[in-house]
Amino acid sequence: MVGKNQVVTEPAPGRHWLMVPRPRTLASLGFLVLHAAGGAYALVTLLRAWFLHDVVRLLVEQSVLFRVFAPAWFLIPVGLALVALLAAVEVRRTLGRWRRHEPEPDVGLRVRALAYVVLACIFVNAFFLSTPETFSGPFRIRYPILGEISGGFAYGAYALWSRLLPWLRRVFSDRVRRVLDVVAMNVALLLVLAEVSLRVVAAFWSSPLLVTASSPQQIRRDANRERPGTLRFGFPMNRGGHYDTEFVPRSATPNRIVVWIGDSFSYGAVPHAYHFTTVAERELPGVDVYNIGYPGLGPSDYLYLLEHEALPLEPDLVVVELFVGNDVTERPAPPGPARWYDADSYLLAIVWHRLQIMRRAKLVDAAEATTLSNLTPEQLAALYPQLADPLLETPSVSSELYFAVEMRNAEGICLPHDGLYEPFFETLMQMERAAGDVPLAFMVIPEEFQVEDDLWEEVVRRSVQPLDRDLAQHTLVPWLNARGRAVLDLLPLMRAVKPMKDGRRHLYHLRNLHFNARGNEVAGRALARLADSLLSATSAPVSLPRHLVFGNRPTRRWMQSG
């Protein structure tokens, strides 16, 4: 027993582990937490993989990275169990050193190795397991369990390396180990510096390659605007980057001016001579129809273009596109924030995916484009036979990607969502206030599944909830009518078009989401009728036919075939 006046300088040996650890044991505490967390992560992932074994089995067969496990997919849960067991062993060893107050060996090397493994795991997930839905994104691992499995195996690789480190020292010379360390360090620094550099550049440069959901509004707005003179179907973009001829100032033209504002429908998928704004202009003698807009825009961007580009032209009428597919929701984000293993979290990976998309895309030869710029509509029709016969169209995207986009849009506009329309309607009211005395009208463009019955049947089949096909129009059009706004709803006009011999109306380019030449003709003639009604008597109510009767002009001969 310790005497009353005695001073104790050392605690009992059995109580060392209860003391605040000295600096040399902090490393042991850190590694203890690491291995405990790694083991817990492996166990949780193992349980998820077991409950989702059918999904895991299917994904293993489709994934390049995990295809080696396809013949015996059960090796994945077995491997995760071994990782958890290895973590338990490492926890026991580290806990023993911490209790004995022993220094942790090779702290610097093991920390560097941990950083290398983390970066390697992120690289594999972001560059190889993540897949892009479109050029704009999102870029994500479609099934999160893949990212979780890769994370568990990454920790297992690190723990195994740490366990085998003494043996590896005997097998590999100091020189080889130093070279590998230096190479890994340089690769890691290169990746980090590349990511940081791209983020700095993206803050100031409006390139489509660098735009993300977190980019400033002006950067995102200008990213998809083509540079002046860029050729599209042989037609040069004007000085504003719009798919049209140069805009003539009010003082330089005797014609009345109608300005159209839209998004990717302004660029479209047809030569300029077949674009619906060009069709409308041909139908309106003495009227110039200016086409303003470019891909990636939404209602808030339409407001910006109205204020800064349309109204300065002093138009007699402004018509704004409202595409129900994505304008109502205005760039719906993927559910939840990007996860650590998603390419969306890393700009370097986003740029890489976009470059791969561009590499696979069919590029137009500059010499060919120069030749196309001088072709007449008849010559263009001969060069692009699909303009006259939609049955000759080739799909723009895969069926899987197309239906992924269509299902996302259907779930956004065909199901009731609390508060969905309030921000959208507020933006429309801001447009009204900005337009002032300038007549403002809206053209509502339907989704393709609202027009093609077989496509709608497939959307319904894939949906787990009952869908209301026309919910967006039934919500939007009455709201605009109640405010006294002229609105052109293309849905009844497009449904009135006689189907072709295969039973489809073929108004949208095949798996493209945009009008083909046939759809542009319908939209262009309807737009001309709307503009003529408003320009001739702005106080008269707009009345549009539900059925469209096509003329017999040479440029419309293909419209009479069915």
CA-based nearest residue to 150, from 341, 350, 339: 341
Average predicted confidence (pLDDT) for the chain: 83
Buried b (16+ CB within 10 A) or exposed e, 461-494: eeeeeebebbbbbebbbeebeeeebbbbbbbebb
CB contact set of 29 (below 8 Å; sequence gap of 6+): 21, 98
Q: Which two tokens stand for residue 181?
A: 């360390």
User: CATH classification of 254-328+375-560, choosing from 3.90.850.10, 3.40.50.1110, 3.30.420.40, 3.90.245.10?
Assistant: 3.40.50.1110
* Confidence at residue 543, expressed as pLDDT on a 0 to 100 scale: 43
Strands 287-293 and 256-262: parallel
Residue 407 · residue 459 · CB < 8 Å: yes
Strands 317-323 and 287-293: unpaired
* Confidence at residue 390, expressed as pLDDT on a 0 to 100 scale: 94
DSSP annotation of 258: E
* Confidence at residue 505, expressed as pLDDT on a 0 to 100 scale: 96
Q: Dump the DSSP string for 38-78.
A: HHHHHHHHHHHHHHTHHHHHHHHHH-TTTGGGGGGTTHHHH
Q: In a structure prediction context, what are the per-residue pLDDT tens digits for the chain, which is 562 residues long?
A: 444 455 444 444 444 444 444 555 678 888 989 999 999 999 998 888 777 765 566 555 555 555 555 455 667 888 889 999 999 999 999 888 888 888 888 999 999 999 999 999 999 999 988 877 656 667 888 778 888 889 999 999 999 999 999 999 999 999 999 999 999 999 999 999 999 999 998 888 767 777 776 666 665 566 678 888 888 888 899 998 899 999 998 889 999 999 999 999 999 999 999 999 999 999 999 999 999 999 888 999 999 999 999 999 999 999 999 999 989 876 444 445 778 888 888 999 989 888 876 665 444 344 444 455 567 777 888 888 999 999 999 988 778 778 888 998 999 999 999 889 999 999 999 999 999 999 999 999 999 999 999 999 999 999 999 999 999 999 999 999 999 999 999 999 999 999 999 999 999 999 988 999 999 999 999 999 999 999 986 544 444 443 333 333 333 333 333 3
Residue 184 · residue 193 · CB < 8 Å: no
* Confidence at residue 163, expressed as pLDDT on a 0 to 100 scale: 92
**Position 81, amino acid:** A
Strands 317-323 and 231-232: unpaired
Rounded distance between C-alpha atoms, residue 318 and residue 305, angstroms: 11
Rounded distance between C-alpha atoms, residue 497 and residue 508, angstroms: 12
* Bridge partners, 441 (sequence order): 319, 486
DSSP annotation of 468: -
Share in percent of the chain as helix, strand, coil (round to 5): 55, 5, 35
Residue 67 · residue 60 · CB < 8 Å: yes
Cα distances from 212 to residues 101, 354, 385, 503, in angstroms, run 49, 12, 37, 40
Site of tokens 């999904």: 55
Cα distances from 549 to residues 109, 505, 525, in angstroms, run 78, 15, 10
Taking the model in full, what pTM does it have?
0.61
Which residue intervals of the chain bear CATH 3.40.50.1110? 254-328+375-560
C-alpha atoms less than 13 angstroms from C-alpha of 104 in its C-beta half-sphere: 24
Rounded distance between C-alpha atoms, residue 452 and residue 456, angstroms: 6
Rounded distance between C-alpha atoms, residue 499 and residue 501, angstroms: 7
Max Cα separation, the chain? Answer: 117
* Confidence at residue 50, expressed as pLDDT on a 0 to 100 scale: 77
Cα distances from 454 to residues 160, 402, 469, 522, in angstroms, run 54, 15, 13, 20
